[in-house]
Structure 1
Amino acid sequence: MDDFHTKRMILEFLRKHTLAVIATCHRNGTPEAATVDFSVRDNLEIVFSTFKDTRKFDNLAERPGVAFVVGWNDNITVQYEGEATRVPTADIEQYQEAYLNSVPADREFIERGAVMFKATPRWIRYSDFNKEPPELIEIQF
């Protein structure tokens, strides 16, 4: 499968989901994980929000490296590694609109001051363990 079709397949898979496990790293090196609602843009950026009083917010402020796992049901998953940064003020409206179209229940969090982040991918692996042998597709960015 060529790169375009692989990215399209991963995008379609991610768009079927709105919940991910996110992993960040504390300044002392301790890994920390949590679940987050997310949406995905056409360029495979993952968009999510968090409050300023969370561990992930503090971790991302110091170490932007992030990892996600999406889709643990049905033996198909996407692992995603990248860099997460706050959505720039100039872009916040378009990111919020797209995010809330995917995850409308998060409007309350945005209204209460949750901060929008975007993650840019460095590496993605799509794994389908229903196939024998398992189908494993990796993309480097």
Structure 2
Amino acid sequence: MTDELKEKIYEYLATHYYLNLATVSPEGKPMAHTMAYVSENATVYFATNKDTRKVRNITNNPDVAYTVDEDEPDWFGMQALQVEGKASIVTDEGDLRRVGEIMTAKFPITADMPPDPYTILIKVEPEVVYFLDYSVEFWYRAKVDF
């Protein structure tokens, strides 16, 4: 079941566009950030300005959480992901190029955007993922450790 569930998680991430990232400020205050993202299996990547609060928060504390969901008015059809993981700044040139290609494939508009020296790439590697699927049964939530 775990391999099948992991495949569902990979597919869910690949077919959605936005996540809601939770970070914690150095003062201990929670913050939520809506981000466009791309994924490789269960690892997600997003670009952001290097001077944002989320980057300061991640630099101070790499523990993050995020959700990916959809606006489903039918409660019994709801699916979502709840993810806990570690965030880091991507610096490897090969990784930057590879993920840039993935980003351009998912978001073609990025191919026309000029390079920005203030933009960095963040990677979030999951530690645990909860897959919610209320079509199985109300409150259904399956856990996968990574």
TM > 0.5: yes
User: Based on CA coordinates, which of the two structures has the bigger radius of gyration?
Assistant: 2
Which ranges of structure 1 fall in alignment gaps of 5 or more residues? none
Partner secondary structure for residue 105 of structure 1: helix
Conserved? CA contact 1:96–1:116, under 8 Å: no
After TM superposition, the structure 1 stretch with the greater mean CA deviation from structure 2, 101-110 or 89-98, is 101-110
Partner secondary structure for residue 20 of structure 1: strand
Select 2:102's aligned residue among 92, 98, 112.
Answer: 98
> Which position in structure 1 is the counterpart of 2:71?
73
Partner secondary structure for residue 143 of structure 2: strand
Q: Distance in 2 between matches of 1:7 and 1:71?
A: 16
Query: How far did residue 112 of structure 1 move?
Result: 2.3
Q: Distance in 2 between matches of 1:56 and 1:3?
A: 32
Relative to structure 1, is the Cα distance of residues 23 and 109 closer, same or farther in structure 2, using a 3 angstrom cutoff? farther
Which ranges of structure 2 fall in alignment gaps of 5 or more residues? 73-77
The Cα offsets for residues 84-134 of structure 1, whole Å up to 9 and x where unpaired, read as: 111123321111111221223345667223211111000100101234343
Conserved? CA contact 1:38–1:103, under 8 Å: no
In the TM superposition, what are the counterparts of 1:1-141 in structure 2 within 5 Å?
2-42=1-41, 44-74=42-72, 75-90=78-93, 91-107=95-111, 111-113=115-117, 114-141=119-146
Relative to structure 1, is the Cα distance of residues 81 and 4 closer, same or farther in structure 2, using a 3 angstrom cutoff? same
Query: How far did residue 3 of structure 1 move?
Result: 1.5
Q: Which amino acid aligns with 2:85?
A: G
Q: Distance in 1 between matches of 2:121 and 2:44?
A: 11
Q: Which runs of 4+ in 1 moved over 3 A?
A: 105-110
Q: Aligned pair count?
A: 139
Q: Distance in 2 between matches of 1:93 and 1:131?
A: 39
Q: Distance in 2 between matches of 1:30 and 1:116?
A: 23
Superposed CA RMSD in Å reads 1.7
Percent same amino acid at aligned positions? Answer: 26
